[in-house]
Amino acid sequence: MLETIKYSYADILHTLLRLPDWLAASALVAGGIVVALIANALVVHTVRNTLGVRHPKTRSLLTRSKGPLQLAFIVLALKLVVGIAPIGNAAAVMFGNILSVAFIALLGWTAIIAVQIGSQIYLRRFSLDAEDNLLARKHVTQVGILKRAADTLIVIITVAAAMMSFEQVRQYGVSLFASAGVAGLAIGLAARPLLSNLIAGVQIAVAQPIRLDDVVFLEGEYGTIEEITTTYVVIKLWDWRRMVVPLSYFIEKPFQNWTRETSALIGSVFLYVDYTVPVEKLRAKLMEVARSSPLWDGRVVVLQVSDATRDNTVELRALLSARSAPAAWDLRCEVREKLIAYLQEEYPQALPRTRQEFVGRGELDRAELPRPSLVPDHHSVSG
């Protein structure tokens, strides 16, 4: 019955259009693609009118699913066209293989988009713009690394499935894996850095020694984690330079993470002043400066005499807490500047100074200085 319908449609096409087989097949393929695009446009239009496009979720979903939806309609239309097109068996087999590969690619593409949409839905409740974004950075980092790993796995499975759809490629792949031997070992050794970075990415996603927007100090540089990929990490330095570090670095080498547990930090300010400095008044001034600054988080403010050096100076250490590393840096600079200005205006004698004392000749003559004895000690006289 299906064969009768198939050839009847072909006969009708030949009778009406009087076209050669290859031209009729081309016209059917082109018409099928046009019909598929029209059907896709109608579906998208219906969805937009039903759900509305003003909502950002609907607009994002339609934008991401536009490509896979078009490919799905084209594959379906070409599958129907190949069944009625006047083509030979060899051409039909070739078109069937192409459509199989397109269908496998469609499944892989849909899986990647599904993973992407799922990760965005999961991360919608977390915001990196929050003042204390520790929990958000934790989940964003973990989901981002796992999403990239899932995308890589989907691509590998999709390519493998597409290759296995061809008999010749399937046999070649089996013989290649069977005869890998030393070549496989050499390839594995050559790919060791890539594999180590991929494994390090999974370890970072689970253990999370670093997260997005973490403040780190490594290789003598200070910056924030800007991007974490499957093989490397991009660190935005304080002067807007970018340092690119392999993922394995954060597993194999030590580094400082200033925001591992919380984004709040304690900054220190050191002053070197004279011994006559009024510590209590300077401590009160520090409290006044901290309370008037919007950078202080209201938790820690301390002034201590941390050292008394031999070069006629006293070391004072002020500790202040801030909500983030940049705020702590700016707060330290502000406090240092205002405390120095306060000493210059109110107690200039408390600034570091070098003392010299001049003694007159009369004072030297009156000074009772020990004089060396000309009589040898009896212990030093030999018997």
What span, in angstroms and rounded, lies between the C-alpha atoms of 247 and 193?
Answer: 10
What domains does the chain contain, in order, with CATH numbers? 2-124 (no CATH), 161-261 (2.30.30.60), 265-350 (3.30.70.100)
**Above 90 in pLDDT, residue 171?**
no
Count CB-CB contacts under 10 A for residue 229: 14
How does the average pLDDT of the chain come out, rounded?
74
| Residue 379 DSSP one-character state | G
pLDDT of residue 293: 93
* Cα–Cα distance measured from residue 65 to residue 110, given in angstroms and rounded to the nearest whole number: 8
> What's residue 341's pLDDT?
95
- Looking at per-residue confidence, does 330 or 262 come out higher? 330
The pLDDT assigned to 375 comes to: 45
Q: What is the average per-residue pLDDT within 169-174?
A: 53
Distance CA 36, CA 41 (A): 9
| Amino acid at site 273 | V
Euclidean distance between CA atoms 128 and 118, whole angstroms: 18
CB 82 within 8 A of CB 97: no
Q: How far apart are CA 6 and CA 190, in angstroms?
A: 55
Query: What tokens does 369 get?
Result: 């200085």
CA atoms within 13 A on the CB side of 234: 9
Quick one: pLDDT at residue 99? 76
Q: What is the pLDDT of residues 281-315, one digit of tens each?
A: 999 999 999 999 999 998 999 999 999 877 788 99
Q: Between the ranges 37-51, 177-191, 252-266, 301-315, where is the mean pLDDT highest?
A: 301-315
Q: What is the pLDDT of residues 80-130, one digit of tens each?
A: 776 666 565 666 666 777 777 888 888 888 888 888 888 888 887 777 666
CB-CB contact of 171 with 205 (8 Å): no
State in Å, rounded, how far the first CA of the chain is from the last one: 143
